[in-house]
Chains A and B, each alone.
Chain A
Amino acid sequence: MNAVPRQKLVVIGNGMAGMRTVEELLAIAPARYDITVFGAEPHPNYNRIMLSSVLAGEKEIDDIVINPLAWYDDNNITLHAGNPVLSIDPAARTVTAASGLVTPYDRLLLATGSKPLAPPIPGLDLPGTCAFRDIADVDKMIAAAGAKTRAVVIGGGLLGLEAAWGLRRRGMQVAVVHLMSTLMERQLDVEAGGLLQKDLTERGLHFFTGGQTEEIEGAGHVEQVRLADGRVIPADLVVLAIGIRPNIDLARKAGLEVNRGIVVGDDMRASDPAIYGVGECVEHRGQVFGLVAPIWEQAKVCAASLAGRDDSVYVTPALSTRLKITGIDVFSAGQLAAQDEADQELVYRDSARGIYKKLVLRDDKVVGAVMYGDVADGAWYFQLMREKADVATIRDRMIFGRAYADVSARGKGVDVAAMADDTQVCGCNGVSKGTIVKAITEKGLTSLDEVKAHTKAGSSCGQCSPVVQAILAHVTGEAVEAKAAGLCGCADLSHDEVRHAIVAQGLKSMEAVRQSLGWRSKDGCAKCRPALNYYLLCAWPAEYVDHGQSRFINERVHANIQKDGTYSVVPRMWGGVTTPAELRAIADVADKHKIPTVKVTGGQRIDLLGVRKEQLPAVWADLNKAGMVSGHAYAKGLRTVKTCVGSEWCRFGTQDSTGLGIRLEKLMWGSWTPHKVKLAVSGCPRNCAEATIKDIGIICVEAGYDIVVGGNGGIELRGTDPLCRVATEDEVLEYAGAFLQIYREEARYLERTAPWVERIGVDAIRKRIVDDEAGRRAAFARFIHSQKYAQIDPWAERVQGIDAHEFKSLAEVE
């Protein structure tokens, strides 16, 4: 075989469109070109979409790199990063870079993206202003958030709101100036825009709608933003995010045909047939682009074209939009409203829950959808829209979602089993369910990361990850489902089935459970009784009467049994803080009752060991008198909340970790849980309270609080998974409380948070607690409700005579 000489391909722009085209090209024609890439930014190719998550502190730059430097090496690509191209000579077929390097090409690909729109506002060049486009901008914003307090974001569209939210998460006071009267007016109708504004206002953003920026003022640095109507907003940082325009400077100078963007044909070729264009810099049939979904299509077509295939034609797909603000669900696609009499609108509104959905129909076909608060069915509506499906038969139900409209689709959420193979799961990358299933079965994939790597589903904006995960579970999960943990030998049911039946069938006593669910033994056994007792208590906190005889001795008598049959007594020491008076009282109790051992526990409190059972009520009475209550050192419940000294004393402390630990302990004490629960709060990332091996850990940072979950320092060491970062103590309480409640409601008895998180995956938990604000609030409310019945000091009750029979023998016989 004679070697075909390779042609030279030069790519200008090391961004998302350019490198996706190169990836596509390598896949279909790996030997055709020697590839050289010029990038203005000094970084390898990264996921620009995720800059929002980096700004919000949810991801690090390292997490968003798409192609690391090794990828360029592996594919023999010459990368000139940080070396922008300054000119193109189409006649000589060369490009000249800032470094002076002149590089010849046979084919040239323009992928220069776009530039932030910068209107002629005076003061825009003052230090303290930036756009939101690249890593350099994000670095500036993060630096400002660390040092300054007030930010103004100009622009209330997708980008502006994501910037505003990220800065808010980093602790800044943020005002958004928006020219229009409602937010995201290009993606949302007035109603949804209003709900969005309300939610974001509740989260601490301030809005100046109908606000035209007249001038950015300051002496040497921005100080304030003045609006045309005279309003003045103080600012240490101004972020401009009013839109983008295609970056066409090079192309124009080179004499290529440009309009708003570089004009390309259906084969992605520019007016010079040796030059191609993809991404935000191009204009195709009068349209320019600002989202990745159409750009991925362009990359495919462009790669085919570069590979010498002429049968590939680019058609702009229907587009949908989502907002990447954690916990705020927005979806929109197509028309936002009826445009004439032929269009009809279906509207669903639940103002109490902040849910709004609108479908626009024309000739019994979906032509638009706007959703707020509950976007679970967005993908389905979008699919109906793209397929131009006739919806006449489901029209009366479809606004309630697929589960109601489609009788074959049962259950809540996304029913992946019922999902058609051609349903698009990942909108950014155009990956269908069928493609995902095929990759999983053919390549034997077992993790979300593998599926992402092989299919690209979930690798851009990440919103579809839960669905991808569900498909993975569905395809690989049969075996896992079958061996779900059984409760005990008394019945054939799994823990999950029993829990479900208790709630679904309204079973409120152990007898009812055993009768309805076919127990083979009348009393149950030592395994199932504690589990049932817990499940009932958790399901019916106000009604169920605890059954002491179904509890392990420690929980029945509220002390830990020791090897010699004596007990230990551990009073609560809130957040590990004590006082001279408490210590004196403990010393007096030890002396008075002749308690043989006093020990500091591993949980930052004091243990009185070797107390005889009949002594317990008197010991407790004395501790109660000194203001101390049970530390539940014996409970499948909240044990300790360890803390460090934090900002109160420590030279590194960023927040009041001790105070927060005490608040958490006061919130959670007394709760019964599937297994014991331990917390810790550290005042800074040095983490002296060892928060990263706790069921719930809080690590204070300058900008707020990192919540981590699912750690365990016990038999099998497991470090926590990060849940999220929040800005205030109140949020910590809400998130941690919601986490605890979901654990209480869904984990199996005797399953600690570590194996539970491992089993269901932290992504699933994050989705429920971080992304779903309404769900989180509701879980937290259920926790607070159940705590009303749980926060009663069991020692005080027993001092007053409850369960007196436990502490006395029935008789003495000589």
Chain B
Amino acid sequence: MTMQDWIRIGLLADIPRLGARTVETSQGQVAVFRTSDDEVFALFNRCPHKGGPLSEGIVSGKVVVCPLHNWTIDLATGEATAPDEGCTRPVAARIADGQVWLELKAGLKVAHG
């Protein structure tokens, strides 16, 4: 198993409230969401349905609605809301001093955009 590490990916302020930004990783694109209460959540950016980019969905409360066919995905768990079934992999995320950190494989190449 690869080493997991907390990696600083940017400023909270770089993510719009009720929106998302993406982070490119060697395992695939990760979507980092910011709620209206300034909580952050991260999910691999592939809808469990047909791989839609969840980062482009509409965020409210702690869910995002996939832009392709409107599945509703829980930001904390990555689970689709019933009646749909499926799960996308969550990534642990936290904020410290206005910076957003993700628990990923080590090595930060580029930050900020």
Inter-subunit contact B56/A561 (CB<8 Å): yes
Inter-subunit contact A521/B58 (CB<8 Å): no
Given known contacts A805-B14, A811-B112, A521 and B19 CB-to-CB distance under 8 angstroms = no
Inter-subunit contact A523/B10 (CB<8 Å): no
Given known contacts A810-B15, A811-B24, A522 and B109 CB-to-CB distance under 8 angstroms = no
- With a cutoff of 8 Å between Cβ atoms, the chain A residues found around residue B108 in the complex are 811, 813-814
Inter-subunit contact B59/A553 (CB<8 Å): no
Most buried by A among B15, B23, B60, B61: B60
- With a cutoff of 8 Å between Cβ atoms, the chain B residues found around residue A521 in the complex are 60-61
Q: Is the C-beta of A565 less than 8 angstroms from some C-beta in chain B?
A: yes
Inter-subunit contact B9/A522 (CB<8 Å): no
Number of B residues with CB within 8 Å of any CB on chain A:
44
Inter-subunit contact A565/B52 (CB<8 Å): yes
Partner of B10, one of A553, A563, A810, A814: A810
Inter-subunit contact B67/A553 (CB<8 Å): yes
Q: Is the C-beta of A808 less than 8 angstroms from some C-beta in chain B?
A: yes
Query: How does the 8 Å CB contact mask read for B12-23 relative to A, with 1 for contact and 0 for none?
Result: 001111110111
Inter-subunit contact A561/B24 (CB<8 Å): no
Inter-subunit contact B23/A561 (CB<8 Å): no
Most buried by B among A524, A551, A812: A812
- With a cutoff of 8 Å between Cβ atoms, the chain B residues found around residue A557 in the complex are 56
For the complex, what is the distance from the CA of A523 to the CA of B60, rounded to whole Å? 5
Please give the distance in Å from A639's CB to the nearest CB on chain B: 19
Given known contacts A810-B23, A812-B24, A813-B7, A523 and B113 CB-to-CB distance under 8 angstroms = no
Please give the distance in Å from B83's CB to the nearest CB on chain A: 15
Given known contacts A523-B61, A563-B50, A810 and B16 CB-to-CB distance under 8 angstroms = no
Q: Is the C-beta of A809 less than 8 angstroms from some C-beta in chain B?
A: yes
For the complex, what is the distance from the CA of A143 to the CA of B108, rounded to whole Å? 82
Given known contacts A530-B58, A553-B57, A814-B26, A805 and B111 CB-to-CB distance under 8 angstroms = no
Given known contacts A553-B67, A812-B109, A813-B9, A565 and B53 CB-to-CB distance under 8 angstroms = yes
Inter-subunit contact B26/A522 (CB<8 Å): no
Q: Is the C-beta of B110 less than 8 angstroms from some C-beta in chain A?
A: yes
Nearest-neighbor residue (CB-CB) of B29 within chain A: A809
Query: How does the 8 Å CB contact mask read for A512-533 relative to B, with 1 for contact and 0 for none?
Result: 0000000001111110011000
Please give the distance in Å from B107's CB to the nearest CB on chain A: 4
- With a cutoff of 8 Å between Cβ atoms, the chain B residues found around residue A565 in the complex are 51-53, 56
- With a cutoff of 8 Å between Cβ atoms, the chain B residues found around residue A809 in the complex are 21-24, 29, 113
Instruction: List B15-51 residues whose CB lies under 8 Å from chain A.
Output: 15-19, 21-26, 29, 32, 35-36, 50-51
Given known contacts A526-B65, A553-B67, A805-B16, A810 and B36 CB-to-CB distance under 8 angstroms = no
For the complex, what is the distance from the CA of A521 to the CA of B10, rounded to whole Å? 29
Instruction: List A85-100 residues whose CB lies under 8 Å from chain B.
Output: none
For the complex, what is the distance from the CA of A565 to the CA of B14, rounded to whole Å? 22
Given known contacts A553-B67, A561-B67, A565-B53, A813 and B23 CB-to-CB distance under 8 angstroms = yes
Most buried by B among A525, A561, A813: A813
Nearest-neighbor residue (CB-CB) of A547 within chain B: B18
Inter-subunit contact A524/B25 (CB<8 Å): no
Partner of A813, one of B21, B25, B35, B70: B25
Nearest-neighbor residue (CB-CB) of B51 within chain A: A565
Please give the distance in Å from B36's CB to the nearest CB on chain A: 5
- With a cutoff of 8 Å between Cβ atoms, the chain A residues found around residue B92 in the complex are none
- With a cutoff of 8 Å between Cβ atoms, the chain B residues found around residue A526 in the complex are 57-58, 60, 65, 70, 72
Inter-subunit contact B68/A563 (CB<8 Å): yes
For the complex, what is the distance from the CA of A565 to the CA of B107, rounded to whole Å? 27
Inter-subunit contact A813/B109 (CB<8 Å): yes
Inter-subunit contact A523/B18 (CB<8 Å): yes
Please give the distance in Å from A546's CB to the nearest CB on chain B: 13
- With a cutoff of 8 Å between Cβ atoms, the chain A residues found around residue B75 in the complex are none
Query: How does the 8 Å CB contact mask read for A540-557 relative to B, with 1 for contact and 0 for none?
Result: 000000001111110011
- With a cutoff of 8 Å between Cβ atoms, the chain A residues found around residue B52 in the complex are 565
Nearest-neighbor residue (CB-CB) of A528 within chain B: B60
Nearest-neighbor residue (CB-CB) of A807 within chain B: B113
Q: Is the C-beta of B80 less than 8 angstroms from some C-beta in chain A?
A: no
Inter-subunit contact A810/B112 (CB<8 Å): yes
- With a cutoff of 8 Å between Cβ atoms, the chain A residues found around residue B107 in the complex are 813-814
- With a cutoff of 8 Å between Cβ atoms, the chain A residues found around residue B72 in the complex are 526
Given known contacts A812-B23, A813-B7, A813-B109, A522 and B58 CB-to-CB distance under 8 angstroms = no
Nearest-neighbor residue (CB-CB) of B56 within chain A: A553
Nearest-neighbor residue (CB-CB) of B110 within chain A: A812
Please give the distance in Å from B28's CB to the nearest CB on chain A: 11
For the complex, what is the distance from the CA of A549 to the CA of B15, rounded to whole Å? 11
Inter-subunit contact A811/B57 (CB<8 Å): no
For the complex, what is the distance from the CA of A601 to the CA of B14, rounded to whole Å? 37
- With a cutoff of 8 Å between Cβ atoms, the chain B residues found around residue A810 in the complex are 9-10, 14-15, 21-23, 32, 111-113
- With a cutoff of 8 Å between Cβ atoms, the chain A residues found around residue B53 in the complex are 561, 565
Most buried by B among A522, A526, A548, A811: A811
Instruction: List B84-101 residues whose CB lies under 8 Å from chain A.
Output: none
Given known contacts A549-B19, A810-B113, A813-B109, A524 and B24 CB-to-CB distance under 8 angstroms = no
- With a cutoff of 8 Å between Cβ atoms, the chain A residues found around residue B16 in the complex are 548-549, 805
The 3 A-B pairs with the shortest beta carbon distances in the complex, nearest first, are: A810-B21, A808-B113, A526-B65
Which A positions have Cβ atoms within 8 angstroms of B? Answer: 521-526, 529-530, 548-553, 556-557, 561, 563, 565, 805, 808-814
Which B positions have Cβ atoms within 8 angstroms of A? Answer: 7, 9-10, 14-19, 21-26, 29, 32, 35-36, 50-53, 56-61, 65, 67-68, 70, 72, 102, 104-105, 107-113
Please, could you name 29 A-B residue pairs with CB atoms under 8 Å apart, sorted by A? A523-B35, A523-B59, A523-B60, A524-B60, A530-B58, A549-B16, A549-B18, A549-B59, A552-B67, A553-B56, A561-B53, A561-B56, A563-B68, A565-B51, A565-B56, A809-B21, A809-B24, A810-B32, A810-B112, A811-B24, A811-B108, A811-B110, A811-B113, A812-B109, A813-B9, A813-B104, A813-B109, A814-B26, A814-B107
